[in-house]
Structure 1
Amino acid sequence: MTKDDKQLVRDSWAKVMPISDTAAELFYNRLFELDPSLRPLFTSDMTEQGRKLMGMITVAVNGLDRLDEIIAAVRALGKRHSGYSVTDDHYDTVATALLWTLERGLGDAFTDATRNAWIKTYTLLSTTMKEAAAQPAAA
């Protein structure tokens, strides 16, 4: 990721934060529309789940210049998700729902460059999570 990519992600996320509850609701509605089989994986209150999602994305966005500091947390998140029966295909569906949500939330501010920066960010994070999930548990 370039410095410009990171700035595009930070700037666009700053515009989403004031509408984070709505963005989370849009995201999960779109996610379950794309793949209804994912709904049973979420057993908690969806408002709270949405806030957790927004918080996690905020941590990742704020850590883009310090990836070495957040990588352990991203790996741990990947391990946790493997316990929820999350598959590699689910990560692709999440990417589609996330990009759709960002496009809806940002409107014209969601430029091609911003989309590409988010794709790079999500790919980096999801690849790290998938790699961690694939590792056998420590004995």
Structure 2
Amino acid sequence: MWPIRRDIADLCYIRFLELDPDARELFAGDIEWQRMKVLDMITALVASLDERSMFQSLIMLSGHKHASLGVQTLHYVAMGEALMWSLDRKLGTSFTPELRESWRTLYARAQTEMLRSAAKT
């Protein structure tokens, strides 16, 4: 799946901004860099699933960073929907119900922990 991550990132950001057009103001810099950064973070989270302390560290750092950028709960919700939509479009029948549920669980866990971390900022 990861060789197609650029395609997923492109679809995800297009969909994210369709769902939340006002979120464009969060991207003061290079949106292309931002797209790939999100997929890099997701890749790192997946890779760290077996190492709870690393997963927690990544989530905490990301939560603090997103809070400093003004990311709100509604942005996380829209991004989660955009990610699921993008994975479904790009992976097609390979995106089985079980895989979809695993991704939803991962994203929900990351979202919850990032918001918790942001609240401590």
TM-score range, shorter chain: over 0.9
1:101 aligns with 86
Determine the C-alpha separation between the residues in 2 that align with 1:23 and 1:131: 27
User: Which of 4, 15, 20 in structure 2 is aligned with 1:30?
Assistant: 15
Deviation at 1:27, TM superposition (A): 0.6
Kindly provide the amino acid, as one letter, of the partner of residue 24 in structure 1: A
Number of matched pairs:
121
Task: Tell me, yes or no, if the aligned pair for 2:12 and 2:82 is still in contact at 8 Å.
Answer: yes
Instruction: Verify: 1:54 aligned to 2:50, yes or no.
Output: no
Determine the C-alpha separation between the residues in 1 that align with 2:86 and 2:30: 20
Deviation at 1:59, TM superposition (A): 0.5
Determine the C-alpha separation between the residues in 2 that align with 1:85 and 1:115: 28
1:126 aligns with 111
Determine the C-alpha separation between the residues in 2 that align with 1:20 and 1:116: 19
Task: Point out 4+ residue stretches in structure 1 off by more than 6 angstroms.
Answer: none
Determine the C-alpha separation between the residues in 2 that align with 1:66 and 1:50: 25
2:52 aligns with 67
Secondary structure at 1:64 match in 2: coil
Aligned-pair Cα RMSD in Å: 1.0
Instruction: Verify: 1:20 aligned to 2:10, yes or no.
Output: no
Secondary structure at 2:29 match in 1: coil
Task: Tell me, yes or no, if the aligned pair for 1:21 and 1:47 is still in contact at 8 Å.
Answer: no
Determine the C-alpha separation between the residues in 1 that align with 2:36 and 2:119: 27
Structure 2 unmatched ranges of 5 or more: none
